[in-house]
A and B are shown apart, each in its own frame.
Chain A
Amino acid sequence: MEFSLTEEQRLLQDSVSRFLQAECPLARVREAAESGSTHVDNVWSGLTDLGIHGIVIPEEQGGVGLSLLEACLVAEALGNCVVPVPFVGSSVMAPIAILAAGTDAQKERFLPRIAAGQVVFGVGVTEQIGRRESEGISLQGSRLSGKAMFVLDGVDADQLIVADSSGALHIIDADARGVTTGKLKTIDRTRAVAEVLLNDVEAEVLPGSVGNRGPLESTIDAGRLILAADCLGASQNMLDQSVAYAKERRQFNRVIGSFQAVKHMCADMAAELEPCRALMWYSAHVYTAIPDEARLMACHAKAHLAEVGQQIARTSTEVHGGMGFTDLLGLHYWFKRIGFDRQLLGAPELVREEAARIQGWV
């Protein structure tokens, strides 16, 4: 029994974190956000060199063949540095969907290019979790029509994976005739979600997903775990910034961290967040190791990190006082990242209800 990361896993996370801290400091994040970019080239290419885009792709298809736990460790590092780069849709959900439901030919065609950083995938499955507006995609023959919203990594995408109303997954070219992609501006300027309108678009089905919701579900589970891990990383950063600020900021001739009112806010954040790390490890581990528990644990990780992240985002902002509210300090990038992670792929109440259904309680 070893409930801990392996040495290799720690080294992986350290090397990704070191790279991101060097290549993507807050100034870089700010620059990208102000220019409307969610795809910083040197970060993308550096992550390619580290093998990150192929993290869940088997070696035979040019990836590094690691498990979802390693992908979550990367997501945690990305959230920690609020990195503006496609990941959840493009580097995790898309390859997992193709691996779960694609033909050998499809795997050979797409996976090596994903691993090599040559293609960005957007993933649109929101309507399968909670439909808003008039979302929904219908299939006629091999052609798709309708609207997908909140397509993850969809703005920068070359290819898209969308789910039709039956839950079957399809690949389409982002620039195919009949596809209109629009950026949805969100509070989080470090990541891009798109609205995709399809008007009788030629699509390529992932055959394993026809009449079988398994591939869609495992794609959503993986996405939920990645967003939870991103939230864990972002929350940890907000806690760390709070503690650093509380040790440095002086009022009434003493650092504010010596006041119990402030100290206890920091302790509360730490006490709430630390068990989330164990929850995250377990949930990501069972995704691969104990499939029977995978869906339930993905729901719990997603919903619980959303709640704890929200609490930390507001508490950390308060610890920073007026500075926390300014653009100058930049704390809001983490605040907004956590807000994004909370709503995408199912807000907490919806995800908890799903967890209840999985356990036969509904």
Chain B
Amino acid sequence: MDLEYSEEYQAFRQEVVRFIADHRHLAPGNVARRPGEDVGISWQKLLIEHGYAARTVPAEYGGFGAEPDILKSHIIAEEFARAKVRPGHSGDNRLVPTLLELGTEAQKKQFIPPTIRGEMSWCQGYSEPGSGSDLASLGTRAEVDGDDFVINGQKIWTSGAKTADMMFCLVRTEPDAPKHQGISYLLFPMDTPGIDVRPLLQMTGDAHFNEVFFTDVRVPTSSIVGKRGEGWFVANATLKHERGGLGDPHAAEARFHEIVELMQHETVDGMRLMDHAVYRDRLLKLQARMLSMKFNGMRVLTHSSRGEEAGLPRWIVKLMGCELNHQMAAMAIDLLGELGILYDASPYLRDGGIWQHRYMLDLGLIIGGGTAQIQKNMIGERALGLPKEPKVEGA
């Protein structure tokens, strides 16, 4: 165990700290409290120039072109969070790594530079009404007609489809092949004729998700990433990146400190919530869980920095991280009691209603990107070696 960073990394941390101090006046506001907000393009460009965004994307595709160094990336994330300055984004943390790994030279040149600068935004066309956890059963068809694919079908749960410039999309191109081998991965603009986006109002009152309908949508056959029928494997490279992005232990720690602050200021019957033993006990339970996940994250980070697979400590991050965040939001609402149900700019609303918003949104995160139950199947099967559920005859 060595919790100290070596001199090289300490010096790097100093550089990051100095950069933030010198340039924070150029950052667009503070760190977003709600995900999905856009970061100013000039800020993003400045960060790329200094290696604080798109750090490992090769320079020829508009990135900073550094060697991958997971500890440096971690230090950057830590310092921006500590300074409460908007960090850079990766363009799209699912698409960019996928293109770097599997895209053609032309695709990389065309899509990566504007994406990492934030000039081209993406949405993900995976889930369908009948294909959620069993994503590989998806039925949106793309048939070849001359130099085009012609797409017909429907996607759902498409985040940001209303504002995105482009979609990366899974479609069935080989209907006679086994389900995992009949899928292709396509990229196309959202203003292509025949695409109809309908917002899906969610329980928070926002419309983050959409339904997307395709009626004879023609895109060139060169829109494909990988070969025909290989889309499932291309997509899995992407899903791996998405799972890594959820359940950030630093976000959990920040949220925990917000609860501590809430308990030190909010009162009931004139008594600080922190002075109530029952609430305090619940707080301490959450603190232990939060710290466990933080240290688990450090353990995973050490494995990653050596290029090793972390195994079980990694497999549990999405399940446990999302659950922890949700439990913290639940506690904050209980701390507020009747005030905790206020919403929508009501008088007496605390913290802008963020806790109710998080409590609902986190449930969405527990479900999205592989439900908790799918996560448990993966932990059971891949980490513990338990057998898969037998296939049901005729299904």
Residues 1-26 (chain A) with a chain B CB within 8 angstroms: 1-6
Is the CB–CB distance between A3 and B1 below 8 Å? yes
A-B pairs with CB below 8 Å: how many?
156
B262 CB within 8 Å of chain A: no
A residues near B289, Cβ cutoff 8 Å: 275, 304
A355 CA / B284 CA spacing, docked (Å): 8
Is the CB–CB distance between B377 and A243 below 8 Å? no
Q: Which listed residue (A6, A264, A275, A349) contacts B380, Cβ 8 A?
A: A264
A residues near B4, Cβ cutoff 8 Å: 1
A residues near B386, Cβ cutoff 8 Å: 243, 246-247, 257-258, 263, 266
Q: Which listed residue (A254, A272, A281) contacts B1, Cβ 8 A?
A: A281
Q: Which listed residue (A243, A254, A267, A275) contacts B292, Cβ 8 A?
A: A275
A residues near B348, Cβ cutoff 8 Å: none
B280 CB within 8 Å of chain A: yes
Residues 348-395 (chain B) with a chain A CB within 8 angstroms: 373, 375-377, 379-381, 383-390
A362 CA / B274 CA spacing, docked (Å): 7
A6 CA / B2 CA spacing, docked (Å): 10
Is the CB–CB distance between A303 and B274 below 8 Å? no
Per-residue interface assignment for chain B, residues 289 to 307, with 1 indicating a CB less than 8 Å from any chain A CB and 0 otherwise: 1011101101101110100
Residues 91-119 (chain B) with a chain A CB within 8 angstroms: none
**Interface residues of A toward B: which range?**
35 or more
A276 CB within 8 Å of chain B: yes
Pick out which of these stretches binds chain A: B20-28, B48-56, B311-319, B327-335: B311-319
A356 CA / B379 CA spacing, docked (Å): 34
- Contact status of A275 and B1, CB under 8 A, knowing A4-B299, A267-B376, A307-B285: no
- Contact status of A303 and B284, CB under 8 A, knowing A263-B376, A267-B380: yes
Query: In the complex, how many residues of chain B place their beta carbon closer than 8 angstroms to a beta carbon of chain A?
Result: 52
A residues near B376, Cβ cutoff 8 Å: 260, 263-264, 267-268, 271
Residues 50-71 (chain B) with a chain A CB within 8 angstroms: 71
Q: Which listed residue (A1, A276, A352) contacts B298, Cβ 8 A?
A: A1
Is the CB–CB distance between B312 and A3 below 8 Å? no
- Contact status of A349 and B296, CB under 8 A, knowing A1-B301, A3-B302, A267-B376: no
Q: Which listed residue (B292, B319, B387) contacts A255, Cβ 8 A?
A: B387
Tell me how far the C-beta of B230 lies from the nearest C-beta in chain A, rounded to whole angstroms: 29
Tell me how far the C-beta of A277 lies from the nearest C-beta in chain B, rounded to whole angstroms: 8
Residues 258-308 (chain A) with a chain B CB within 8 angstroms: 258-260, 263-264, 266-268, 270-272, 274-279, 281-282, 285, 289-290, 297, 300, 303-304, 307
B residues near A276, Cβ cutoff 8 Å: 292
Q: Which listed residue (B275, B287, B316) contacts A275, Cβ 8 A?
A: B316
A254 CA / B389 CA spacing, docked (Å): 9
Is the CB–CB distance between B3 and A285 below 8 Å? yes
A69 CB within 8 Å of chain B: yes
A353 CB within 8 Å of chain B: yes
Tell me how far the C-beta of B381 lies from the nearest C-beta in chain A, rounded to whole angstroms: 7
B residues near A6, Cβ cutoff 8 Å: 1
Q: Which listed residue (B285, B295, B379) contacts A278, Cβ 8 A?
A: B295
Tell me how far the C-beta of B188 lies from the nearest C-beta in chain A, rounded to whole angstroms: 37
A residues near B6, Cβ cutoff 8 Å: 1
A290 CA / B373 CA spacing, docked (Å): 39
B residues near A285, Cβ cutoff 8 Å: 1, 3
Is the CB–CB distance between B301 and A270 below 8 Å? no
A257 CA / B316 CA spacing, docked (Å): 19
A-B contact list, 22 entries, CB within 8 Å = A2-B1, A4-B299, A69-B1, A260-B389, A264-B376, A264-B380, A266-B384, A267-B375, A268-B376, A270-B379, A271-B379, A279-B296, A281-B299, A285-B1, A289-B3, A300-B284, A303-B288, A304-B292, A349-B281, A352-B284, A353-B284, A355-B284
Task: List A residues at the B interface (Cβ < 8 Å).
Answer: 1-6, 69, 243, 246-247, 254-255, 257-260, 263-264, 266-268, 270-272, 274-279, 281-282, 285, 289-290, 297, 300, 303-304, 307, 349, 352-353, 355-356, 361-362
3 shortest A-B CB distances, which residue pairs?
A278-B295, A275-B292, A304-B288
